[in-house]
Amino acid sequence: MIIEDEPLAVKVLIDYISHVPFLELQGTFKDAILAADYLRHTTTHLIFLDIHLPKLKGMSFLKTLTNPPAVIITTAYHQYAVEGFNLNVTDYLLKPFDFERFLVAVTKVRTIHMTNREPADDAELRDFFFINVQKKKVKVLFSEIVYIESQREYVKIITTQNEYISKMSTHEIEAILPPHLFKRVHRSFIVSIRRIESYTAEMIEMNGVSIPIGKGYRDGMEKL
């Protein structure tokens, strides 16, 4: 979630978040009091927090949280960095910051989150999952998936055996897929890494289909 009262800063953060496959924006808040009320009944994993906010300042807001999520400070004032780290913030982004610096910060949060996860349970060891298709639960094997395409509130799952359309978001299905087997390459496409036949800076070829690579995902392709 974003707690920020500058419209331009909010716009930049929303744009950056939209290009990172493991982030999903829950909400934006112009002041910390509204955010605190939201957190009373909702859980979040990460807050982008400005320091100079109306009514309740960012640092004061942090001190009110008994079990805070990860926090990345976003501010134009460097003098608050020490106080921020004393409050266990994960990173401190000095405005204006570019996408590369933003990505470093959120990747740090994700690494800490993955490290602190509990050992895998039986569900995480499975090689399949079930999806809802026309009032039926259909079993899909991870090994048979070629790629997944977002179609608004639906996803189309293309496998070696069949095609399925199910009502769910790409964020929901991405959370199910093992990250070492699948890669988000575009806002609308997730591909099976092992089924990539060839790729350029802009396109992936697999199973006779050309799939676009989004601008924000190209660096990730080179790191496969």
State pLDDT tens for residues 12-21. 999 999 988 8
Residue 48 and residue 7 share a domain: yes
Q: Specify whether 64 is located in the same domain as 158.
A: no
Are 108 and 32 members of one domain?
yes
Rounded percentage of the chain residues whose pLDDT exceeds 90: 41
pLDDT category at 82 given cuts 50, 70, 90 is low
Lowest mean pLDDT among 59-68, 103-112, 200-209: 59-68
Chain-centre distance for alpha carbon 115: 17
110 with 129, same domain: the answer is: no
pLDDT score for 47: 94
Res 135: pLDDT: 84
CA dist., res. 160 & res. 140, Å (int): 11
Question: Could you tell me how many residues make up the chain?
Answer: 224
Residue labelled with tokens 């609308």? 188
Interatomic CA distance for residues 47 and 65, integer angstroms:
12
193/95 same-domain check: no
Are 95 and 151 contained in the same domain? no
54 lies in the same domain as 133: no
Q: Over the stretch 83-130, which tens digit does the pLDDT of each residue have? A: 655 667 888 888 899 999 999 999 888 887 776 654 444 445 578 889
pLDDT at 141: 93
- Residues 97 and 33 reside in one and the same domain: yes
Pairwise CA distance, residues 67 & 70, whole Å: 10
Whichever domain contains 30, its CATH number is 3.40.50.2300
Residue 133, pLDDT > 70, answer yes
Question: Where a domain ends, among 74, 95, 115?
Answer: 115
**Are residues 104 and 9 part of one domain?**
yes
SS (H, E, C) 89-134: CCEEEECCCCHHHHHHHHHHHHHHHHHCCCCCCHHHHCCEEEEEEC
| Domain that residue 90 falls in | 2-115
Q: CA–CA separation, 42 vs 85, rounded Å?
A: 25
Query: What's the pLDDT tens digit per position in 28-45?
Result: 999 999 888 888 888 889
The pLDDT of residue 119 is 46
Give yes or no: residues 110 and 126 share one domain.
Answer: no
CA geometry: angle at 60 spanning 55 and 63, to 5°?
140
Boundary of a domain, candidates 115, 137, 172: 115
Give me the sign of the Cα torsion angle 219, 98, 190, 187: negative
Cα-based distances in Å from 197 to 45, 148, 194, 207: 36, 16, 8, 8
Q: What is the total count of domains within the chain?
A: 2
Are 58 and 103 part of one and the same domain? yes
- Indicate the DSSP class of residue 199: E
Boundary residue ending a domain (98, 115, 132): 115
pLDDT tops 80 at residue 66: no
- 9 and 108 inside one domain: yes
